[in-house]
Amino acid sequence: MPDAFLDSSVVIGLLFRNAGERAACLKAIPEDAARVGSRYVQFEIARGFLRSLILLHNASFEYPSFSALHQAAHSGQRRFKPYEMQTWMGAFDDYFAALEAEDGAPDPDQQLNEFRAKLWSWIRRGWRKLQADFVPLNAIGCREDLPPPLRRSDQRVDQLLPLLECGNPAACRLQAFVDDPRASKTALAVGLDRLPEKQKDSETIRRIDALRELLAVSAGTEFTGSHCHRAGDGLIAIEMPVGHLVVTKNRKHFEPITPLLGKPFAIALPARSTQAPDS
């Protein structure tokens, strides 16, 4: 039975999303397989999904009602931040799913406060489980001292991630990971570049460029920290140990990546409902 190496999309589904999403992710994980979580994936979740969820929590203080916040999530600058908007819409889906499960109609005057309280509960509980629920792995050498999300005196939430230290060889060991050995990273960059043009979306192009930049910088030399994030799924697939199975919801990008590395993958299909199948 291979261990299951979980990418960020599946970890988010298991820890932060509604019962339907959790069930869909669990279905893709082989029964009795150990669930392996990478420190790199944790950092990716913190600087992406969790940061968007924290922004939604804090934005809730800027609107007079739940309906006003809900409307704002669909408009304005959100349209130019698709990942952030997707995270916000998912949080609203999870909230409505929770209301359905609790079989309770919210008081319109209290709905904004109730939504904010659920967001904080999901942020706090999800972060705790992110640290505890998976077999740890850190072959990339990501930071081990990520601070937890904290609520300030004004009830807003902060998580002070060391993003400015990404790329600093004194704080980040990614270049040593890239250098030892370089063959798999080079093969991935070359293989992705040879994909048909219709398969090379903007994210894949950024991944190719980031891998090339990382390969051009030797260990011990400072590099552009954003290249780490842009290489993303490629680094996750490279970090996965031989004999493991990467489990992801992101077929579009892992389907071309994993064959280039000779590694297997399993896809968690989209949930058909926010409720678990047996509910």
Consecutive H or E run containing 35: strand 35-38
* Mean of pLDDT values over 49-58: 96
On whether the CB atoms of residues 187 and 256 are closer than 8 A, the answer is no
Which residues on neighbouring strands pair with residue 245, listed in sequence order? Answer: 4
pLDDT digits (tens, 9 = 90+) for 93-108: 999 999 887 766 677 7
Taking residues 32-45, report their average pLDDT: 94
Identify whether 181 is preceded by a cis peptide bond (ω within 30 of 0): yes
Alpha helix positions (H), 65-110: 66-73, 82-102
Where does the pLDDT of residue 194 fall: very low under 50, low under 70, confident under 90, or very high at 90 and above?
Answer: very high
Contact 275, 97 (CB under 8 A): yes
